[in-house]
Amino acid sequence: MSWTFETQSLSARLAGERQVRLRALKLESSTADFLEGAPQVVWDVVVRKNGQATTEAWGGRPNLMIPPVSRRQEMPILPKWRVQAWLQSQSMRPDGDGSELVLTFFCNDIASRPITDAISEHFDDLDETTWCQFAKDFWD
């Protein structure tokens, strides 16, 4: 996957040739403001909260969460970071102005490489069928 800079925005092509633009990015701790607690409880709350159909970021836009992989096999330990990438593309319907989706995923490292590389890795989970299933059209 390659990202290109276009008038201060990043864009990429999904499988199936859909052009997608990164509108905004939100990086935060994955633990949902928990300072302590049983790892299983924290995991359940964070994954359930982030797995909802919409996200609070950017006004309740549709969300596709890529489930996290535990940092330890014997215990559910969340990766350090939660990343939310607000993506926009052309409309799925002829009367729409565009379509959008917030891609949410978890990772341990956001410093050693460009964040666009981390986002691109998750584009394998997105294709035209998945986009049409989770994204929503919008009208300006």
pTM (predicted TM-score): 0.83
pLDDT at position 91: 95
pLDDT digits (tens, 9 = 90+) for 2-17: 233 333 567 788 877 8
Report the C-alpha gap between 37 and 41 in whole angstroms.
Answer: 7
Cβ–Cβ under 8 Å, residues 43 and 37: no
pLDDT at position 67: 86
Q: What are phi and psi of 71, to 5 degrees?
A: -75, -15
Other C-beta atoms lying within 10 Å of the C-beta of residue 19: 12
- Of 20, 49, 15, 19, residue with least CA distance to 32: 49
pLDDT digits (tens, 9 = 90+) for 55-103: 666 778 898 988 888 878 888 888 888 888 889 999 999 999 999 999 9
pLDDT at position 99: 96
Question: What per-residue string of b and e applies to 101-116 under the rule 16 or more CB within 10 Å gives b?
Answer: bbbbbbbeeeeeeebb
Question: Strand pairing of 136-138 and 4-6?
Answer: unpaired
The answer on pLDDT for 132 being more than 90 is yes
